[in-house]
Structure 1
């Protein structure tokens, strides 16, 4: 299969190369590495974004693709975001990681999960699944987040996705509170980590 839109990353070498999803995609020839200062005209998934990616970004992805910043969540302050600025920086909505490093943690997606999430939300499911298929745990990312992707895909603009995200979080909080009162152990406790982007 060929992904017919650009897929790129700025890699800051924060991660173990053996576990880095971005480096694995690069070895497979599925992602282009960008230099610091090099511009990218498509969607850039970044914690410095102010809008959430939405189905309305589809045409932008179709024309110019998706890029991510490959770095450690623990070292965001070391990343020169000003030198990789894009007019189309985006946040991702509430999603749960399936990668081995941050499994079960909200918003702690790795490189391939972030790209795949952008593709899922903007209507390129086949591209997302192709990239995830290169990782043994990749199918789990879809399985965990399928209900969320279904809800986000019914939205249009960023504001609608954000409103849907907030409703999802309220529902999770209520479900967790109900199960806690009932004395039932619930995986939902791990799903209520504060969003680092808001």
Structure 2
């Protein structure tokens, strides 16, 4: 078993902070405070950037060449303006497959994850399950995110290709996909 398959192995987490939310409720700030992530001013080279507007879904394939995960912490209301990644760049922007929020603000809303939930979901999918659970354990409601998404996170973490992930999304969330045939 190599280091990247070892469940205790961790990957680097960085967060680009835009400071648009209440600092007392900011989950990204809490991760930085507890040294579970580092704040950055620019996106690290070869990091997988969590981008809800990307056309490419995060899968196990992304783990091979990445140097870590980078989240962009901003208000959902301003996200489309804040997350602008040039098309021709060395940045690997990926969206998470469909997950339910466990945070009190957006409870059970599809895709409306806090920064910590997005990071935890990405870590889980990439096989860093212990690190994902450690992050969620910092929040009173963190177990709710894991409980709501446990089966789907397990399935996503076993998918190795985009097509498999899309199929899993269709099975769990059929209302997201309309049949145009």
TM-score by length of structure 2 reads: 0.84
Equivalent in the alignment of 1:10: 16
* Deviant stretches of 4+, over 3 Å: 37-40
Closer, same or farther in 2 for the Cα pair 1:80/1:112, shift >3 Å? closer
Structure 2: give runs of 5+ residues left out of the alignment. 1-7
- The one of 146, 160, 163 equivalent to 2:164 is 160
Correspondence 1:82 to 2:85: yes
Equivalent in the alignment of 1:46: 51
SS of 1:104's partner is coil
Structure 1: give runs of 5+ residues left out of the alignment. 174-191
SS of 1:44's partner is strand
Closer, same or farther in 2 for the Cα pair 1:80/1:105, shift >3 Å? closer
Once the two structures are superposed, the pairs formed by residues 115-134 of structure 1 within 5 Å of their partners are 115-134=119-138
SS of 1:140's partner is helix
Equivalent in the alignment of 2:3: none
Closer, same or farther in 2 for the Cα pair 1:80/1:99, shift >3 Å? closer
**For this pair of structures, how many residues does the alignment match?**
169
Aligned alpha-carbon RMSD (Å): 2.2
Deviation, structure 1 residue 52: 0.5
Equivalent in the alignment of 1:93: 97
Closer, same or farther in 2 for the Cα pair 1:54/1:131, shift >3 Å? same
TM-score by length of structure 1 reads: 0.77
Deviation, structure 1 residue 167: 2.4
Deviation, structure 1 residue 38: 4.3
Deviation, structure 1 residue 40: 3.6
Equivalent in the alignment of 2:33: 27
Indicate the larger mover: 110-119 or 148-157: 148-157
Q: Aligned partners of 2:45 and 2:77: how far apart in 1?
A: 24
Which of the pair is proportionally richer in helix? Answer: 1
Q: Aligned partners of 1:86 and 1:111: how far apart in 2?
A: 22
SS of 2:71's partner is strand
Return the index of the structure with the highest Cα Rg: 1
SS of 1:10's partner is strand
Deviation, structure 1 residue 67: 0.9
Q: Aligned partners of 1:115 and 1:3: how far apart in 2?
A: 16
